[in-house]
Amino acid sequence: MADVVFFDLDGTLIDHRSAVWEAIGQIVRAAPNATASPEDLVALWWTLEGRHMREYLAGECSFAEHHRRRLRSFLPALGEPVPEDPGLLDTWIAERYLTAFEGSWRCYPDVRPCLENLRRLPRGPRLAVLTNGDPEQQRAKLARFGLLEYFEAVLTPTELGAAKPVAYATACRWMRTDPEQAVNVGDMLESDVNAAALAGLTGIWLDRGIDFVTGGPSPTADETVLRIERLTDLPGHLSRTNA
């Protein structure tokens, strides 16, 4: 049995994409002066999230500033003025976006059964969350659904000083294990599976049937990729792999 199993969070444990689309959809449908259709505005927000999140992960800005940058680019399309005061941008994010976003969080139904089954395994692995998100927000998601108790650690770029894919080796050191004894489970084929394998871990692809970035069909994986369609398949998969 593996010593440690790392879980990605967004798209693996929590349905982040649907929460974003639901929250920003509420905002754009209520915008009287928007310069684009609701569909185009939601797609723009998603694009901006990816762009400015990469800047945050690269250490170019704080998590709050990545939100401000996103909003500065988005408000003109929404038909609203862009405040010069960063505090007003923070207030918009907190009151108009985050409230709706947090209310739209959903835990996938296969998460808790998977974690309970892993807990019951003889000499089962230690569990940790390895995520590129903001530590406060990611822990709040886990706490909302009573999942924190299952994990020995919640590791983010704040703790590790680096984001995935660079963070895999550091995460293993944090958990006092060797990469060869660690498994990483996630929905992103390249960053969660292939990059983990390059770092010496065993990557397992949770293929939920959707590409997290595009919303289209899942990418095509090499036949050597370890793939599951439901997290509830993971405990049995680990047992067979280590038999």
pLDDT at 1 over 80: no
Give kind and range of the element (H or E) at residue 44: helix 38-57
pLDDT at 221: 85
DSSP lists the bridge partners of residue 226 as 204
Question: Hey, what are 124's tokens?
Answer: 């089962």
Strands 153-155 and 126-130: parallel
pLDDT band at 241 (very low <50, low <70, confident <90, very high): low
What is the distance between the alpha carbons of residues 126 and 8, in angstroms, rounded to a whole number?
15
Write out pLDDT tens, residues 215-237: 888 888 888 899 999 999 999 88
Eight-state DSSP code of residue 6: E
Say if residues 233 and 204 touch (Cβ distance below 8 Å): no
What is the pLDDT of the chain when averaged over all its residues?
94
Write out pLDDT tens, residues 158-197: 999 999 989 999 999 999 999 999 999 999 999 999 999 9
What is the distance between the alpha carbons of residues 10 and 96, in angstroms, rounded to a whole number?
21
Residue 10 Cα distances to 6, 40, 61, 106, 192, angstroms: 13, 23, 21, 10, 11
Identity of residue 40? D
The model carries a pTM of 0.93
- In the three-class reduction of DSSP (H, G, I as helix; E, B as strand; rest coil), residue 202 is classed as strand
pLDDT at 239 over 80: no
Eight-state DSSP code of residue 170: H
Give percent above pLDDT 70 in the chain: 98
Write out pLDDT tens, residues 17-76: 999 999 999 999 999 999 999 999 999 999 999 999 999 988 899 999 999 999 999 999
DSSP lists the bridge partners of residue 142 as none
Provide the CA 92 distance to its chain's centre, in angstroms.
23
DSSP lists the bridge partners of residue 5 as 127, 183
The closest of 90, 122, 123, 115 to 9, measured between CA atoms, is 115
